[in-house]
Structure 1
């Protein structure tokens, strides 16, 4: 499990909102890619799912991802915001990463109730 960045803060006025900045030496950049580091999509999805559970409580059993879009790479030390929206009836967690230049990635994580 890749740790969260040190500069991760909840946005107090926005439930499910976070500001973050991934430091250049963060292990999330290991191997992605030498000389041109970017934050992998898998880590973006993982952080969204884990922060969703931290924010909204148990989400259930992960089933998959829908409408996943990677619009621009996330680079080291780039200021970002992550917005999460949990729809309990649909068992869906929507996530959206944005940077100063606009959208970075977005998608919907789908869950089923835990047994």
Structure 2
């Protein structure tokens, strides 16, 4: 985990190319004190890192973000108000690449949509 202590996995199910994951954000993590003081917001780059880490868990491979063809932040993730996120990752592996389509939600709110290609590291 690149950002130690930012989140914990509460539930993880991977079957036939689809991972359904529930994570709990640590609202006390120092990253939220700088982003932003008094109004914490989950940094987008941290969400992309979490998706990468969950994809690595599913594939058993070390990955590097090659290209993202679509990233849409649909709602602000405030860890004090919404500390539990549900992520769905549709994963396909093709030779040395892993393609991922992700949706991230909290409660009934769509927070993030992402399509990305990761390169498998040697």
Same fold (TM over 0.5): yes
> How far 1:111 moved relative to its partner?
2.2
User: Is this contact kept in 2: 1:2–1:27, CA < 8 A?
Assistant: no
In structure 2, the partner of 1:111 is: 118
1:23-102 matches, cutoff 5 A: 23-58=26-61, 60-77=63-80, 78=82, 79-89=84-94, 91-102=98-109
Structure 1: unaligned runs, 5 residues or longer? none
Distance 1:98 1:41, change over 3 A: same
Q: How many residue pairs were aligned?
A: 114
> How far 1:113 moved relative to its partner?
4.5
For 1:92 and 1:13, locate their aligned partners in 2 and report how far apart those are by CA, in whole Å: 15
> Out of 20, 23, 34, which is 1:20 matched to?
23
> How far 1:73 moved relative to its partner?
0.7
Give me the TM-score of the superposition, normalised by structure 2. 0.79
Structure 2: unaligned runs, 5 residues or longer? none
For 1:13 and 1:55, locate their aligned partners in 2 and report how far apart those are by CA, in whole Å: 7
The superposition leaves residues 60-84 of structure 1 with CA deviations (integer Å, 9 ceiling, x where unpaired) of 5421212100000111141210111
Aligned pair 1:10/2:15, yes or no?
no
User: Is this contact kept in 1: 2:56–2:63, CA < 8 A?
Assistant: no
For 1:110 and 1:2, locate their aligned partners in 2 and report how far apart those are by CA, in whole Å: 21
